[in-house]
Structure 1
Amino acid sequence: MLTIGFVTPPGFQIMGLAAISAFELANTTAGEPLYEIRVLSEHGGPVTNSLGIPLETRVLSRAKVDTLIVTGLLHPQASSPGLVKQIRKAAQSVRRIASVCTGAFILGEAGLLDAKRVTTHWFHSRNLQAQFPKAVVEDDRIFIIDGALWTSAGMSAGIDLALGMIEKDFGVELARAVAQKLVVYHRRGGGQSQHSALLELDAKSDRIQSALSYARSHLTAALTVEELAGAAHLSPRQFSRAFRAETGQSPAKAVENMRVEAARVMIEQGRHSMGEVAVETGFADIERMRRAFLRAFGHPPQVLRRNARRAVA
């Protein structure tokens, strides 16, 4: 059985512990205790989170764990010297050490980010790079693995990080089953962008949201205005007018952005040929996908794949 220790600094953001559910469900899904969870802190005892709710913890320095995951704060601030010292010492004995969101700042204080590829929430990435210039901060990744160091983006990305750990420990099938029980995507690749085309569209009405959700799950279809209007239960004319008013984009442009986002993930994961990616994401052929990538990123999809391979190497 593997022991996972979650480090909670005073004022930690409660969402940073969401990943615990992934390990818990790994146990119930497997029907045996694969993971033991311990919540840790510098002094042990109750630690109050950002909502003012206390959580009982054990002393970090006394814990023997396989994996140490450091949670973060809503607004990064200097940690106590004692906590930093304990984390630095624990890093010497654990198999892997990780951070959720701004927990990366605490790892940086412990000197664990030097010469490492890391990520954090995009809002704090520049500050992380400025504060720890020896780190290689990539501000548009869901999570990054660099040797024994794992770092994730926003709080919810801690779930993706946990699913990645479960997959590494016990295989893809268990990780997929856990993701299904959590009702989350299995699983956002570490290289996936923190920015979502659906979030950027920010539709306000349920009808337009329904059309967007339909488009996202039917990317291989033609996705004409008439088809999307049907999903929204509007006439094509009403739909086009409402869609542009709510999103600032035409339906065709929004669909292209979603296809580019889906294709980018598949390309960076590197498990499919360019032709397969084009078909699976609804571009139909490589040339159409290439033109869409040039419009979106200013360079063809081959550059993204090359950069992803270089980063892994």
Structure 2
Amino acid sequence: MTPTPSPQAPRNVVLLAYAGMNLLDLSGPLQALATTNRLQEREVYRLHVASAQGGAVLTSAGLPVLTQALSELEALLAADGLHTLISPGGSLGETFCIDTALVAWIRRAAPLAQRVCSVCTGAFHLAEAGVLDGLRVTTHWGSVEQLQRRYPALEVDGEPIYIRQGRIWTSAGVTAGIDLTLALVEQDLGHVAAIATARQLVMFIKRPGGQSQFSHPLASQTAGAGRFVELHAWIAANLGADLRVENLARQANMSPRTFARLYVAETGRTPARTVELMRLEAARRALEETRLPLKRIASQSGYGEEQNLRRVFLRQLGVSPGQYRERFAAS
């Protein structure tokens, strides 16, 4: 039976570590919880950074992190319980490599934890342990397809910053681990405490928008797009033109019906969706990199009127163009 500590007793939090993990996936949540402890002037969270073998673990940034061995925690957790388990992400290569010893420990410990969380590709360890089966989850936008393909029992949503499914929490890439941690603090201590921690970290307590603010939705527009590479380049240079299917088909020297069918088969999306994404990407870049007025950006990126640009940003990103510029402009 899992011990039930008093409300004022420290909550045991275990952050897992392994070779090649992202340093910020670990240090972000760790610092947020440590900051909460300091602001609350008590040990709200008793923090444990643990790896399979213990000792120094080399992160992908080249900085070693000193860890406890998971075996050293057994007696403590048996006596005081495990409140929160956090699985950070990160990998030395493009394919996530599973730490089998961590997975074995997660299988034993997760059922006893009050909360189980992942940051970024830390979701792979939870998925391998069977913790995420049947749940809607998220991960870094660049690993969404890999996670879904590898674990078809999951419903992987690449848009949210974090997702809560009962006691299971998953978050997007890297800094999203801090967003997740602020939500955990809010659940434990209330909005005022979470706001205080966010202010100390110079963070939004709830970041507006989703991962699509930071991903590059058309990163593959020239890779793997086969016969449509030149068409994509033409679209990017003519975003303000009439880009209906008929005109795109003419540019590709095909009939509209043949063009639409082949395009979806080869790219996995409709021509209209590609145009939508490319216009949004162009508008984002202009907001990030220039001080052009919104009216000019709307015209150049193919939205025509400023109000159309505003509607698209609110629908797709959850923020207005002005808010996006304020938060993500280079200067």
Instruction: Give the superposition deviation at 1:80.
Output: 3.2
Residue 29 (structure 2) pairs with residue 10 (structure 1)? no
Distance 1:197 1:121, change over 3 A: closer
TM superposition shift of 1:15 = 1.5
Whole-Å separation in 1 of the counterparts to 2:60 and 2:67: 16
Assess, with a 3 A threshold, how the Cα gap between structure 1 residues 206 and 101 changes in structure 2: closer, same or farther. closer
CA distance in 1, matches of 2:139, 2:288: 31
1:72 counterpart residue number: 89
2:184 maps to a residue whose letter is M
Q: How is 1:114-133 mapped onto 2 (pairs within 5 angstroms)?
A: 114-133=133-152
The corresponding residue for 1:276 is none
Q: In the TM superposition, what are the counterparts of 1:150-169 in structure 2 within 5 Å? A: 150-169=169-188
CA distance in 1, matches of 2:149, 2:290: 43
**1:193 maps onto 2:210 in alignment:** yes
* SS of structure 1 residue aligned to 2:123: helix
Cα distance in 2 for partners of 1:150, 1:198 equals 21
Equivalent runs, 1:37-186 vs 2, <5 Å? 37-63=47-73, 64=77, 65-74=82-91, 75-186=94-205
Partners of 1:197 and 1:258 within 8 A in 2: no
Identical-pair percentage:
34
Aligned residue type for 1:20: L
For residues 238-274 of structure 1, give each alpha carbon's deviation from its aligned partner in whole angstroms, at most 9, with x where no partner exists.
Answer: x83xx46996766714433343357x58xxxxxxxxx
How far did 1:21 drift? 1.8
Q: 1:125 to 1:207 in 2, by over 3 A?
A: closer
Residue type at the aligned position of 1:185: F
TM (norm. structure 2) is 0.64
**What TM-score does the superposition give when structure 1 sets the normalisation length?**
0.67
What amino acid is aligned across from residue 39 of structure 1 in structure 2? V
Q: CA deviation digits over 1:279-305, x for unaligned, max 9?
A: xx79xxxxxxxxxxxxxxxxxxxxxxx
CA distance in 2, matches of 1:197, 1:77: 21
Amino acid at match of 1:117: R
Q: In 2, distance between residues paired with 1:116 and 1:109?
A: 13
Q: Contact 1:12/1:49 (CA < 8 Å) preserved in 2?
A: yes
SS in 1 for 2:148: helix
1:202 aligns with 2:248: no
Q: Using a 3 Å threshold, how does the CA distance of structure 1 residues 120 and 180 change in structure 2: closer, same or farther?
A: same
Contact 1:118 1:144 in 2 (8 A): yes
RMSD: 2.9
CA distance in 1, matches of 2:89, 2:215: 26
Residues matched between the structures, number: 235
The DSSP-based 3-state class of the residue aligned with 1:9 is: coil
1:46 CA drift (Å): 0.4
Given that 2:299 and 2:305 are in contact with CA atoms closer than 8 Å, whether structure 1 keeps it comes out as no
- Where in structure 1 are there 5+ consecutive unaligned residues? 212-224, 229-238, 266-280, 283-313
Post-superposition offset of 1:98:
0.8
Q: SS of the residue aligned with 1:46?
A: strand
| Structure 1 residues 3-37: Cα deviation after superposition (integer angstroms, max 9, x where no partner) | 22110121101120212221122112222221122
Q: How does 1:251-262 map to 2 (within 5 A)?
A: 252=306, 253-260=308-315
Q: Which moved more, 1:161-170 or 1:51-60?
A: 51-60
Structure 1 or 2, whichever has the larger Rg, is: 2
Matches of 2:71 and 2:157, distance apart in 1: 31
Distance change >3 Å, CA 245–CA 21, structure 1 → 2: farther
Structure 1 residues 245, 38: closer, same or farther in 2, change over 3 A? farther
